Amino acid sequence: MPNRSSDRPRVVLLVLMVAALTLLTAQFRDFLPVDDFQQGFRDVISPFRKVVDRATDPFQTVWKGIFNYEEVSDENERLQMEIARMRGEELRDEADRELLERLLGEVDIDYLELETVVARIIGVPGGNYNSHVVEINKGTDDGLEEGAGVITKAGLVGYLYEVDRSTSLVRLATHPDFRVGVRLINSQDEGLARGNGSVGVLILDAGINIDAEVSIGEVVVTSGGRSIFPQDIPVGRVNDPDKEADYARSIEIDLSASLENLSFLNVILETREN
């Protein structure tokens, strides 16, 4: 006679696994308000998170001081060098500004004029899987929408993929799921670039002809069109044009915005169809 009591855990486990798979299917097929449930949960715990964050701030500072000392020290050095460089460039910039404005006008680049919301990075999401994602302190209450492009003065950063009431998650351009239409300034060739999980690098491997003339250091900007990003946002410079490719080019682009040292971001308010 079979032992029913020993079978029960297996039945329960099976039922729970079916329930989890049903939820996953519901989310991927968009037929249940699963996203709303997740956002609602995060919204409910958000005020408590802020309280705990404030209460444990001294402890967090000590922790970072112990375990991230080298990182902080490197950043400090980098910032000092940056300040020195900026001071030196200040006078030259003044003279160049007029020239820059004239050039931007000639190529119709007006990304600095975009209507944006400034947001501060407050951290990364919990868990050990969300690399290439950062959390910002603005959400739907500030007029942000899912899919909005995120930039800095240096150029492309990523886009919003989860927007709660007071916080949002930004998927950075280096994330493996990130795609953006780009244009090479010299050749005016357009293609699709993607993140590949490497720090500071985008790969342009779709839409570019095998015999296209691409040079090292060539400036890459967004191509606009149906993309969520308006056109002419600086993306970066070509680092490896992959001229030796036989069948398909895989051009490496160094991002102009340093995604590892971000503090503040600009979220573009005018979202477009993806």
Partner 1 sequence: MNTGLRVLTLLITAAILQSSIFTEMRIDGMGVELLLLIAILSGYHGGPIRGAYVSFWTGLVNDCIVASPLGIHALIYPVIAVAVSNLEERFINEKRIIRAFGVALTVATGVFLTAAVGHIFGEKTFNTNSLPETAIIAGVMTTFFSYPLSRIVNWTVSSGMPQEVKTRLTGSSR
Q: Which residues are near partner 1 by CB under 8 A? A: 8-9, 12-13, 16-17, 19-24, 26-28, 34, 37-38, 41-42, 45, 48-50, 52-53, 56, 59-60, 63-64, 67, 123-133, 161-162, 169, 175-177, 197
Cβ 74 to partner 1 shortest distance, Å: 14
Count, in order, helices (H) and strands (E) of the chain.
4, 12
Nearer to partner 1, 19 or 86 (CB): 19
Nearer to partner 1, 11 or 84 (CB): 11
Q: Mind giving me the DSSP string for 193-242?
A: EEE-SSTTEEEEEES--TT----TT-EEEE--TTSSSPTT-EEEEEEE--
Nearer to partner 1, 174 or 256 (CB): 174
Cβ 56 to partner 1 shortest distance, Å: 5
Cβ 198 to partner 1 shortest distance, Å: 9
Q: Which backbone phi and psi does 211 adopt, to 5 degrees?
A: -105, 15
Residue 265, burial from CB neighbour count under 10 angstroms (0-12, 13-18, 19+)? buried
Hey, what long-range contacts does 19-24 have (CB within 8 A, 24 or more apart)? none
Nearer to partner 1, 2 or 9 (CB): 9
Nearer to partner 1, 116 or 167 (CB): 167
Residues 167 and 122: beta-carbon distance below 8 Å: yes
Cβ 42 to partner 1 shortest distance, Å: 6
Nearer to partner 1, 130 or 239 (CB): 130
Cβ 247 to partner 1 shortest distance, Å: 24
Sign of CA dihedral 66, 72, 77, 83: negative
Cα 9 to Cα 20: distance, rounded to the nearest angstrom: 16
Output the six-digit token pair for 35.
Answer: 């996203």
Nearer to partner 1, 97 or 120 (CB): 120
Q: Which residues of 205-229 are buried (b: 16+ CB within 10 A; e: fewer)?
A: beebeeeeebeeebbbbbbbeebbb
Cβ 202 to partner 1 shortest distance, Å: 15
Q: Which residue has tokens 């097929």? A: 29
Cβ 32 to partner 1 shortest distance, Å: 9
